[in-house]
């Protein structure tokens, strides 16, 4: 019962907060609004990318360590793909950082 009340309260809070956001103008009216939304998008993009990258790296490390713990002789076969997967996961986070920098650079060209 307590869990259902918590879910209901969180849903109500979410809907109450978003109703004020939906009451705003649908189109950004000036350059300051566009700058504000671009900065918010860049910040959220980096936050979500870092969170996802950290989860991916944690799961990859857990799986590699579990495989090595079950079969210590597999260390040589698991280490290289493990490091490669960590590098690829990290490159996706860096890609999100570059996109946010490009996004912030584009808004500098807007008139005041």
Fold for the domain defined by 28-107 = F1FO ATP Synthase (1.20.20)
Give tens-digit pLDDT for 50-77.
Answer: 999 999 999 999 999 999 999 989 888 8
Separation between Cα atoms, residue 17 and residue 27, nearest integer Å: 19
Query: 10 Å Cβ neighbour count for 50?
Result: 13
The predicted pLDDT at position 27 comes to 58
For the chain, list residues with pLDDT below 50: none
Separation between Cα atoms, residue 89 and residue 82, nearest integer Å: 11
Domain assignments of the chain as residue spans, ordered by start = 28-107
For the chain, the distance separating the N- and C-terminal CA atoms, rounded to the nearest angstrom, is 53
- DSSP letter at 73 equals G
Sign of the CA dihedral with 60 first, then 63, 66, and 70 last: negative
């Amino acid at each position: 019962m307590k869990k259902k009340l918590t879910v209901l309260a969180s849903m109500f809070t979410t809907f109450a907060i978003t109703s004020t956001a939906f009451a705003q103008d649908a189109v950004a009216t000036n350059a300051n609004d566009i700058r504000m939304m671009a900065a918010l998008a860049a910040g959220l993009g980096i936050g979500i990318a870092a969170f996802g990258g950290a989860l991916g790296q944690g799961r990859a490390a857990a799986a590699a360590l579990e495989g090595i713990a079950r079969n210590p002789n597999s260390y040589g076969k698991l280490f290289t793909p493990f490091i490669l997967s960590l590098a690829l996961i990290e490159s996706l986070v860096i890609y999100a950082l570059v996109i946010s920098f490009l996004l912030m650079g584009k808004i500098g060209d807007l008139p005041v």
